[in-house]
Structure 1
């Protein structure tokens, strides 16, 4: 599963006045990113008519994007009702974090074993961005950067199939956190990203894998695994059509 299927886009590039430029890949990316960034909350109804109006395209492109999102398990297509952002169960939440600990533990070992200057540059630049977001008090950007740190690490392992699995699991984790989070990460947990990077770049594979396991367990420990429901999202605002 290639990240974004090669359709790397900037959400600001969508132009409702130029529908020919808005393919299903861009629509997929905008919705996927809004889910990962907690702008589209679990249970939100992704109405085809509204999406067609927002993106200025026909139903075929919208349905292609929604099919891809359903294949990634971040939305659910319900017969005779439409598409909804998934609401993971408690057992699904636990299973997602079990899977992440196994896969990310393996990938971070691989990254530590193949460390190189481009990896150092990528991790350093990302951590600077995380720090800037925290200093600015930009909660939405902190959430976005923290999620993408794990994807960035996975991408360094030169294992694209597993990195694709992690991309899906990160999206599902975002839904889980949106429903079940009972407390925000403390400073020690946030600083673990820098320590993880240090271990990888020093080639300390065992230390990196052990810390990744503790780090993901810490995120899971912040969850109150009792089902909750909250208000659904406004599509126009969540997808950046202000």
Structure 2
């Protein structure tokens, strides 16, 4: 999969985090875009956790950029929903509430099964190879103990399915939901030893290979419900790293 950001963000994340698409608003130029993508990757890999402050001065010091450049990057992330900018307080990694967590996964359970059915009908050999590559990359991350990266790749698999269905409106909504899901999982996931269960993705792949839309729809619905049940929807507290800790080395 090649995209894991909110609808309208204009930022597409592939393995190299190097693609940009027109998301309907002005993208930050050059250096600001590079910083934006680095911060986005750190958020989606759960190295920058929900609620963490993104000081313009500290981000600028880490990346060797002016406050103007950093501000452009943070505003782009705010458009994607990954960052919240509060007046007189600054920018923070967005922190979804427990209510939002329920609503996001309920929305996914309504939308994604239908999209999976459409993707199964539209599936080609090239699409299948692309999805398999995503699953393989997720397994590599799991084997390396990179849980945040594994969860990010799992989200990208779901967005890949939406792209295959070729439904622009629904695909945009799913991108936004996946983006919020990443933050929700960072806060509330209660099964740290698992990511998006690989057997579900393999089952989806098999149904899509057979162009079995009904099976794909049923598997996706069960999968989303299972993900929802994997959330510990109570207030959580975490020890936060500093920005310097996250990007050191």
Instruction: Give the TM-score category using the shorter length.
Output: 0.7 to 0.9
Aligned position for 1:182: 190
Q: Secondary structure at the match of 1:149?
A: helix
Cα distance in 1 for partners of 2:242, 2:107 equals 31
C-alpha displacement at 1:74, in angstroms?
1.8
The question of 1:98 aligning with 2:106 is answered yes
CA deviations on 1:166-215 (whole Å, 9 max, x unpaired) are: 22221211111111122246599331111111111211111111111111
Are residues 55 and 186 of structure 1, via their aligned partners in 2, closer, same or farther at CA, if it must alter by over 3 Å? closer
Matched, 1:236 2:244: yes
Aligned 8 A contact 2:44 2:149 in 1: no
Cα distance in 2 between the residues matched to 1:196 and 1:128: 14
- 2:43, 2:65 → 1: CA distance? 21
Deviations 1:42-89 (A, max 9, x none): 110000001111222222222122112222222211111100111111
Tell me the residue number matched to 1:17: none
Q: CA RMSD in A?
A: 2.5
Contact 2:9 2:76 in 1 (8 A): no
What is the aligned partner in structure 2 of residue 88 from structure 1?
96
- For 2:150 and 2:88, the matched residues in 1 are separated by 37
| Residue aligning to 1:70 | 78
| CA displacement at 1:118 relative to structure 2 | 1.3
Q: Which moved more, 1:148-157 or 1:92-101?
A: 148-157
* Whole-Å separation in 1 of the counterparts to 2:12 and 2:189: 32
Q: Note the residue ranges of structure 2 that are not aligned, 5 or more in a row.
A: 1-6, 19-28
Aligned counterpart, 2:58: 50
CA–CA separation in structure 2 for the residues paired with 1:188 and 1:149: 10
What is the aligned partner in structure 1 of residue 33 from structure 2? 25
Distance 1:11 1:230 in 2: 27
Which residue pairs with 1:36 in the alignment? 44
Counting helix residues as a fraction of each chain, which structure ranks higher? 1
1:113 aligned partner: 121
| Greater than 4 Å deviation, 4+ residue runs | 1-4, 6-9, 185-188
Q: How far has the Cα of 1:145 moved from its partner?
A: 2.1
Q: How does 1:207-226 map to 2 (within 5 A)?
A: 207-226=215-234
User: Larger deviation: 159-168 or 54-63?
Assistant: 159-168
Which residue matches 2:157? 149
Alignment partner of 1:10 is 2:20: no
Contact 1:182 1:224 in 2 (8 A): yes
Name the CA distance, whole Å, in 2 between partners of 1:129 and 1:226.
31
Unaligned runs of 5+ in 1: 13-20
Task: Give distance in 1, aligned partners of 2:141 and 2:11.
Answer: 28
State the distance in 2 between where 1:29 and 1:213 align: 31
